[in-house]
Structure 1
Amino acid sequence: MADNPVAIVILAAGQGSRMQSDLPKVLHRLGGAPLVGHALAVARTLEPEQVIVVAGHGADQVTKAVGKIDPDARIVLQAEQLGTGHAVRQALPELEGFEGKVIVLYGDTPFIGEDTLAALASHPSDLVVLGFEAEDPGRYGRLIVSGRGLERIVEYKDADSATRDIALCNSGVMALEASLLRQLIVRLTNENASGEYYLTDLVALARAEGRSTDVVTCDESETLGINTRAELAGAEAAFQDRARRQALENGVTLCDPATVWFALDTVIGRDTVIGQNVVFGPGVTVESGAEILPFCHLEGCHISSGATVGPFARLRPGAELGGDVHVGNFVEIKNSVLDEGVKVGHLTYLGDAHVGERTNIGAGTVTCNYDGVMKHRTDIGARAFIGSDTMLVAPVRVGDDAMTGSGSVITADVPAGALALGRARQENKPGLATRLMEALRAKKESR
């Protein structure tokens, strides 16, 4: 955006008391990501020079969360919540020297689209407000427009009946030149019933200066703000419906779309097949041509082309599946790399491991990676065969083409091509089972 520099200010200071929560409102999750994460994601589509988040209630928590999502975003503090104008004013020190357009977004308004944001950034007027035609305008502020653009914003409580009949409403999102923002925001007053500094008052101030003001419109669904748990649930339903439609349009087969749940950053390639009741947590990429069978939970993982997962599998953060890998039912994988062609059929846990190509992992195998204090790695070579019910006590390495006998506890490295047996020799006691059961039954009857 070098030819048309943009800075984004995201307002995220509110308490959100109607959420009935100790968690700051903007940190409640939608599509697996905090609400403010949605605003940060769309902001980055403009390649802005700066992203500034105004935090207030729960500022430490918001700062920590934003740092994980977007480490380059700057945080400023609004110690007292004195209105939207006051909040934006806290960002002025970070905007010092910036010459371009400033766009103000809200951390609790997650659905502003990329095209809408681009229209705000490219609009030639000095100040632009984002408006929408409301099906039920209710208590929204109304936008009064003419051939000269946006004339003024009238709050519902100040509107006469004719103005209240207007359906064009104010979303609160605004874009204006940085120089104009610096000039006008210091002139805002709190002479109103709420005693707050309103960002919307900038429109009248700009008009008084002879500056051009206008409206960009979007669909009402983009302006949905989250204030209650019920609204959050409704937003989740809307998000999932949109994500499912996008997946289908992109060539993904969803066997039962209503039962598949996506995250904000889910990436799925074409010709992938997703079964029923699959949940994608944050950070999942599935390459083209993979298949996810029903009842799987995936998070923070990468699945390569041709791989199959499930049913009833769990992939945790750090799971990397190569091409044509098979992960079967009741398998859990965490922080492990499975090279091409690995097969893990069922009832297995692989944590902190690397498994070489074409290796077969038998049922009931466990990498014993945690000693109570530290995590340790297991390395299994290519074309190895791990017998069922093998306990691999990390740190340990199994070489290429090696085998472990079923029921073994492996505590030492297994050389390439070797067979490791780590179990006690079987000993049969003739007749002992019969005598033992007779004694136990007799004891039970005597009670």
Structure 2
Amino acid sequence: MFNVDKIREDFPILKRTVHGKPLVYFDNAATSQTPQIVIDTIVDYYSNYNSNIHRGVHTLSQEATDKYEEARIKIQKHFNAKEAYEIILTSGTTHSINMVASGFASLLNKGDEIIVSALEHHSNIVPWQMLCEKTGAILKVIPMTDEGSLDMKTYHNLLNDKTKLVFSNHVSNALGTVNPIEEIIAAAHKVGAAVLIDGAQATPHIKPDVQALNVDFYVASAHKLCGPTGVGLLYGKQEWLEKLPPYQGGGEMIATVSFEKTTYAGLPHKFEAGTPNICGGIAFGAAIDYMNSVGFDAIANYENELLEYGTSELLKIDGLKIYGTSAEKTAVISFNVNDIHPYDIGAILDKLGIAVRTGHHCAQPIMDFYKIPGTIRASFSFYNTKEEIDILVQGVKRATMMLS
């Protein structure tokens, strides 16, 4: 049985108040909250075996190294990567994307084409624009539909023998749309293109199998997965990671160094220059364990209930419009009410203890498509409740009445 009350006990922050009101946290698409077991893992690291890794013969270094590499294996198994060294630990999704973009700067030629979807976060747009400026490659865009889905017919027409790379998020952070990444990947491979999937918004709701997807690169962040900020992953097929040059030079990513020549370390260390976020990596592993203990099928089923309930209740408010109405969605509702600016409603909701995100959500092309300045985004997690949604609905009604 899925017991949300018991799950909520795992999250100490859910007991706090904001402006004298019980916290209602609906900004999970930006950052999820952290369970006590992950907090305890962080405290344990700094209290008992804080040390640098891979370099020391002393006990603390060996203990830290073992815990860090155990976390890499947990992440490998969670995403079903073939090898642990195909998991590169990074500072987050943005770092991971930039690593791949930097590597392809030496592999693309003028006139090559790369394709990105219209539903992307800025971090999966800007690096590819920068790559095109460096290489002379041409950026093409899969357009979106009014319901917030991708125009897949146009995508297939964009593909050709000049296409070298395709990028898409698994789930839209602004709308919650689940994209047909299996179709995207398979079609790209038919023309010999590599594919990177941004899984930042998908991984809190879906357990991706990178081998089954046959994806070339998959990226995600721990802080969306009940883990700490400042750590994430880049999964890459071994053949691609071997082709790409290192992203940074420094300690750990080398095999030998002389003033005449440096040789690079093997995977994964080739891409992990310098002292990593050791504690963050270990805590990432603990967060993966926690999420799996709750169960991703149970999470998906419960969050879908929240999505259906929230959608139904919010649409009862006069003048409220939801953006992103695809049949395949995660628990995100992006909306506006009449012509009221989303920031104004968000500010009033905050005074009521309700945390939502307002603005363009780092997805400005989506807002330009709808010709709006932004939206109010309520993003649910498995520790939220229908009672909290009721509080949100009443808060939106109150804000609308005050601002009308």
| TM-score normalised by structure 2 residue count | 0.21
Q: Larger C-alpha radius of gyration, 1 or 2?
A: 1
Q: State TM-score, norm by structure 1.
A: 0.20
Q: Please state which structure has a larger fraction of its residues in strand.
A: 1
Higher relative contact order (CA 8 A, sep 6+): 2
